Amino acid sequence: MTATSTAVGIAGAVRSGERSARSVVEEHLAVIAARDAELHACNHVMVDDALATADAVDAAVARGEDAGPLAGVPVVLKDNLCTRGVPTTCSSRILDGWRPPYTATVVERLLLAGGIPVAKANLDEFAMGSSTENSAFGPTRNPHDTSRVPGGSSGGSAAAVAAGYAPLALGSDTGGSIRQPAALCGVVGVKPTYGRVSRFGLVAFASSLDQIGPLATTVDDAALLLEAIWGPDAMDSTAIPSQPEALGGDTDIAGMRIGIVEELTDVEGIAPEVKAAVERAAAGLDAAGARVERVSVPSCAYGLSAYYLIAPAEASSNLARYDGVRYGLRVDAADVAEMNAKTRDAGFGAEVKRRIMLGTYALSAGYYDAYYGQAQKVRTLIIRDFAQAYERFDVLLSPTSPTEAFPLGAKTADPLAMYLSDVCTIPTNLAGHSAMSVPFGTGAEGLPVGVQVLAPAQGESVMFRVARAVEGIVA
């Protein structure tokens, strides 16, 4: 990455008047125009809005004002983030024609910081999926190999950053949807601590797990965006009320204690070269002065099972609002109940319907204790096991995705195989902790591999320090 193509480099050049925000935006819009017919990372390109925002940034610079830490930096937004007056589809037919009457807090904050939203990115419908193939508008392709998936559900955001549409993107992560596509597209992806970033204006999937976070080409760029969007927000009662500690620029990891999570690394299903990447990263961290050991976090093995009860249960409730009255699509019928049913049948795709049915079943009388209740107990065990691990370790390490990017269509007929894509990322969401994926070389098929750095709640500062160290190791 050259300094002028990173967010840090662009913001520096725009703030000093060396480059205009308009020229930066025009350059990136040209990349989108050249590549998106093939990649389909975008649902909607905000050409006029982006140029108008860029002109406002340039005018501020001309007046001698501070244009902000993201001055002139193009940012791609996952299309489940509300943008006032701009279509927000969640890649679902049920939101056809809906234009939100308000803007997500994260988008307001990045605008305040001088950032420039340039496009709404494709995703798996309502963020349910791991390949972006569940989009109602067709899949996104991986820029490293267009016969492969970019991962998901923030596949459009990850592909956009990897293809140079923008140095930064925002995604959402409920069970791995920022980190897994980041790994498959060779970019950095961060899931902050639950509550660290306001969810106001993020269309809800599973409210106790959802978190918004950055995708970027470098760890420092991800830090720049995270610092622009995080912090308390009166519009989200689950936002942590205190101001977070700044991320700093430290890379020193001497004496740091780092644990490789056995249950997420030394298990069947993790490709040998992915495991080898974690080992090489660990060896590099050890050489830089950290003390690396294996650690068992036993209940992590049950994370996936618990997640596929809790997330669908919450989704079945959150998605009840799409009734043909308040949002987007309506299929007319003789009476209201039939209109509701026909609208939902036509508006939701197969995976969304599957989740609603799974969730409704897990919550129904007679099954609640056996399914939802048990899953909540597993969640408590995961929190307890992580707490024990963090008594001995500052951060933990694991693969992000079990494999490199897989071919389009490889897992669409087998939902369970698709669900396994998130086996390494889900425990973090259940615990409410932070974790990030850092690109680390390539695998057997020559495609990107990511290493996951996990940290306790509000442990972003130490997590970024280790991520910078991983980034500096020659993979």
Catalytic, 91? Answer: no
Token representation of residue 374: 């048990």
**Cβ distance to ligand GLN smaller for residue 267 or 420:** 420
Q: Is 311 in the site for ligand GLN (CB under 6 A)?
A: yes
Q: How far apart are CA 208 and CA 188, in angstroms?
A: 24
Which residues have C-beta within 8 Å of that of residue 272, sequence separation ≥ 6? 444
Vertex 41 angle, CA 274 and 331, to 5°: 120
Distance CA 434, CA 193 (A): 4
If the CB atoms of residues 209 and 240 are measured against ligand GLN, the closer one turns out to be 209
Instruction: Indicate whether 177 belongs to the interface with ligand GLN (CB under 6 A).
Output: yes
Smallest separation, CB 155 to ligand GLN (Å): 10
Note whether 171 binds ligand GLN by CB under 6 A. no
**Number of C-alpha atoms within 13 angstroms, CB side, residue 210?**
26
- Using CA atoms, how far residue 75 sits from 191, 221, 289, 328, in Å, is 17, 11, 36, 26
Q: Which member of 69, 143, 175, 259 binds ligand GLN (CB under 6 A)?
A: 175
> Should residue 398 be labelled a site residue for ligand GLN when binding is judged by CB under 6 A?
no
Which one of the listed residues 92, 177, 401, 421 is annotated catalytic? 177
Please give the Cα distance from 460 to 218 (Å, whole number).
Answer: 16
Residue 153 annotated as catalytic: yes
In the shown chain, the binding pattern of residues 110 to 129 toward ligand GLN, with x for contact by CB under 6 A and - for none, equals: -----------------xxx
Q: In the bound complex, what is the minimum distance in angstroms from residue 177's beta carbon to ligand GLN?
A: 3
Q: Which is nearer to ligand GLN, 67 or 358 (CB)?
A: 358
Q: Which helix (H) or strand (E) holds 452?
A: strand 448-455
Rounded to a whole number of angstroms, the minimum distance from the CB of residue 123 to ligand GLN is 8
User: Does 342 qualify as catalytic in the annotation?
Assistant: no
x-or-dash pattern for ligand GLN, window 198-217, by CB under 6 A?
A: -------x------------
DSSP state of 307: H
DSSP calls for 315-344: HHHHGGG-SSSSSS-----SSHHHHHHHHH
- Residue from 20, 174, 211, 265 touching ligand GLN (CB under 6 A): that is 174
SS3 track for 338-358: HHHHHHHHHHCCHHHHHHHHH
**Residue of 20, 91, 135, 153 with catalytic role:** 153
E strand or H helix at 117, and its extent?
A: strand 116-121
Size of the site for ligand GLN (CB under 6 A): 13
Nearer to ligand GLN, 153 or 299 (CB): 153
Check residue 130 for interaction with ligand GLN (CB under 6 A): yes
Candidates 85-93, 170-178, 218-226, 408-416; binding stretch for ligand GLN (CB under 6 A):
170-178
State the residue number with the nearest CB to ligand GLN: 177
Closest by CA to 212, choosing from 297, 298, 153, is 153
Footprint (CB under 6 A) of ligand GLN, residues 56-115: none
Q: What does the per-residue mask of binding to ligand GLN show for 321-350, with x meaning CB under 6 A?
A: ------------------------------
As a whole number of angstroms, the distance between CA 354 and CA 235 comes to 31
**8-state DSSP, 86:** B
Question: In whole angstroms, what is the distance from residue 27 CA to residue 81 CA?
Answer: 24
CA distance 209 to 454: 16
Candidate residues 150, 176, 213, 214; the one interacting with ligand GLN per rule CB under 6 A:
176
Distance in Å, CB of 59 to ligand GLN, minimum: 38
Q: Does 400 bind ligand GLN (CB under 6 A)?
A: no
Segment interacting with ligand GLN, rule: CB under 6 A, options 159-167, 168-176, 236-244, 284-292: 168-176
Q: Comparing C-alpha atoms, which of 196, 251, 199, 218 is closest to residue 433?
A: 196
Minimum separation from the CB atom of position 346 to ligand GLN (A):
22
Contacts to ligand GLN by CB under 6 A: 127-130, 153, 173-177, 205, 311, 422
Residues designated catalytic: 78, 153, 177
